[in-house]
Amino acid sequence: MIEQSRFLVQSADRDEWLRVRATGVTATMVGRAHDDKGFAEIVGQMIDPTPIPDNAFMAFGRDQESNIIDRLAERFDIAGNDWLISSAEENWMMATPDGLSPDHGTIVEVKTTGRDWGSYDWVPVYYKRQVQWQLFVTGAEECVFAWMLREKAPDGSFVPAWIGPKYVTVKRQQRMIDQCIDTAHRLYANLPSVSA
């Protein structure tokens, strides 16, 4: 079980959630920093944070997240999560999985995509690293990773291409977790509050 003190702030309190996130290293950061280019981009964003303009792709993902979680909850004992959670090791190691089981042994991560990945083998590496970082931070043993394909409706809006999401259960992969931990330490050293 994740200790109550490790539940830092809910994303519903957007400003505080962003403020606390900026003091540490998150799953999104670790996932995106999987190569030199990605690492440089994340460090640049840490030094000079630039909000990402909202767009139709992001809006579709937000709109679908709770529906996907609800569909998964028909098969798994999970519920949605909006808490930023810190690691038992260091409070600057953070993640916000999309869902949690009551015993915190399973997390959920959901994505929407413009192309069907077919299987977990085709999922981009930055999402795989994101999942492994979340497993490390939470201490969970597995992740239900789900994706929903989007398509354009005649009016130009995005709609689900399937009745429900595809999903796989992903186990912890210690080798990738170790790589993520190394990346996180290098990112943390570049945080303005740490490197100043």
pLDDT tens per residue, range 119-167: 889 999 999 999 999 999 999 999 999 999 999 999 989 999 999 999 9
Alpha-carbon gap, residue 70 to 150, rounded angstroms:
18
- For residue 77, is pLDDT > 80? yes
Amino acid letter for position 172: R
Percent of the chain having pLDDT more than 70? 99
Which residue matches tokens 């089981």?
101
pLDDT value, residue 49 = 85
Q: With the C-alpha atoms ordered 120, 87, 108, 35, is the resulting torsion angle positive or negative?
A: negative
Alpha-carbon gap, residue 27 to 4, rounded angstroms:
20
Residue 54's pLDDT band, with cuts at 50, 70 and 90, is confident
Under a CB-based contact definition with an 8 Å cutoff, are residues 127 and 111 in contact? yes
Percent of the chain having pLDDT more than 90? 84
The dotted CATH code for 4-195 is 3.90.320.10
Average of per-residue pLDDT values in the chain:
94
pLDDT value, residue 156 = 87
Give the H/E segment covering residue 130. helix 125-138
Give residue-wise pLDDT tens across range 1-21.
999 999 999 999 999 999 999
- For residue 194, is pLDDT > 80? no
pLDDT value, residue 196 = 54
Chain centroid, CA 26 distance in Å? 8
Residue 184's pLDDT band, with cuts at 50, 70 and 90, is very high
- Residue ranges of alpha helices (H) inside 22-94 are 27-32, 36-47, 56-73
Residue 185's pLDDT band, with cuts at 50, 70 and 90, is very high
Alpha-carbon gap, residue 114 to 102, rounded angstroms:
32
Average pLDDT of the residues in 23-48: 95
